[in-house]
Amino acid sequence: MSDKRAKSQGGPSRALIWDIAQRSGVSIATVSRVLNERPDVAAATRERVLAHVRELGYVSNRHARSLVSGHTNYIGFTVPRVDHFVEILEGASQIAEEHDANLVICPTRHEHSREVTLLERLRSGGADGAVLILPSESKEELAQLRAQNYPFVVIDPRYPLGEEIPAVSVANMSGGRAATEHLVEHGHRRIGVITGYPDWTASIDRLAGFHAVLIAAGLYTTHTPELVSYGDFTLDGGYKAAQRLLALTHRPTAIFAFNDVMAVGAIRAAHEHNLRVPEDISVVGFDDSPFASFVTPALTTVRQPSYELGRVGIETLYRVMEGQSIEGTRIELSTRLIVRDSTAPCPTIS
């Protein structure tokens, strides 16, 4: 073997194209054409060159590495809408870069058919693995990915998943507890709740945290079903849900909305009822979206670690791809209450 070798910094020696060409009995130009998947190379010659590529471990660039290892160094990342998940994507991108991989963003646009198509493309070799934020993930489709040993991790699953599906989410129940404890500590006893879709995991867990605090405070038996108003995580949904709460004969003195967008809709509804926030009614959100500190009044909310969701999602995916054992596939990241100007002590209501 030739002594001509290229050494990466601090790494092992790597064969040069010259060595591959010599062993294959072809020109350096031919080796280059093979590595760049040019069509003007005979099939037998291509196979002979690739055999020596693998033998000598030539990995001069990402493309050559993919030929040698069968990996693309692309990680798929499905999101319903890119603009709603920017911070998560930033965290994911950092870890992908550390692994010398490219992140391929795949918007599903809240369309189930598009979601299925993207999963099929990823599974067919479009990416080495995928992190999935899906608007309507199907247990059956995810089970198929799992059965085919395709590595993936679900972030913030919308619905309860089987224990065999790796997932990363936030501590929704403890976040619901923190928001409710804050209102109870401020003397609020009649608290309205604007949930998201009732069968979504986030809604179920946040409502469970809310109820746990009411039980501990001795308020659960007096909390009537009419104080739970269902929304859809949209601005208009929050507005309409708040209108229903504020139309009650005995309206709530505080509203806990299960995301910041619905909280802003609730503030709009309060203003239309000539209620001041927080003097007449307190409002709490969930997410700590970028706009939460800019609305008037600045929103008290539960902060989700969005950046960390992206980081941990990619880190967990690489553990799955490397065949590492993951003790328990459910990873929950802690939330934190951020107190701003939209909450105050309970007012006296006649």
- Predicted confidence (pLDDT) per residue in 257-270, tens digit: 999 999 999 999 99
Same domain flag for 227 and 285 = yes
Residue 59, pLDDT > 70, answer no
The rounded radius of gyration (Å) of the Cα atoms in the chain is 27
Residue-wise pLDDT tens digits, 19-42:
888 888 988 778 877 876 677 788
Q: pLDDT value at position 232?
A: 92
Same domain flag for 62 and 95 = no
Residue 180, pLDDT > 70, answer yes
Q: pLDDT value at position 255?
A: 98
pLDDT top residue among 143 and 204: 204
**What is the domain-level CATH number for residue 289?**
3.40.50.2300
Q: Taking residues 77-103, report their average pLDDT.
A: 88
Q: pLDDT value at position 49?
A: 86
Q: What is the pTM of this model?
A: 0.77
Strand 300-303, strand 282-287: pairing: parallel
Closest of 114, 125, 113, 167 to residue 150, by C-alpha: 125
- Structural domain boundaries enclosing 261: 172-304
Q: pLDDT value at position 138?
A: 66
- As for how many domains the chain has, the answer is 3
Could you give the 3-state DSSP secondary structure of residue 314? Answer: helix
Residue 308, pLDDT > 50, answer yes
For the packed helices 306-321 and 86-98, what is the interaxial angle rounded to 10 degrees? 40
Same domain flag for 110 and 145 = yes
Q: pLDDT value at position 2?
A: 40
Q: pLDDT value at position 113?
A: 66
pLDDT top residue among 7 and 250: 250
- 328 domain residue, yes or no: yes
Last residue of a domain, one of 47, 69, 91: 69
Lowest mean pLDDT among 118-122, 128-132, 289-293: 118-122
Residue 165: pLDDT band (50, 70, 90) is confident
Lowest mean pLDDT among 25-29, 51-55, 133-137, 339-343: 133-137
Same domain flag for 209 and 252 = yes
- Classify residue 233 by its DSSP letter: S
Distance CA 146, CA 142 (A): 6
Same domain flag for 189 and 252 = yes
pLDDT above 70 coverage of the chain, percent: 84
Same domain flag for 282 and 185 = yes
Closest of 94, 129, 162 to residue 322, by C-alpha: 129
pLDDT top residue among 138 and 83: 83
Same domain flag for 187 and 297 = yes
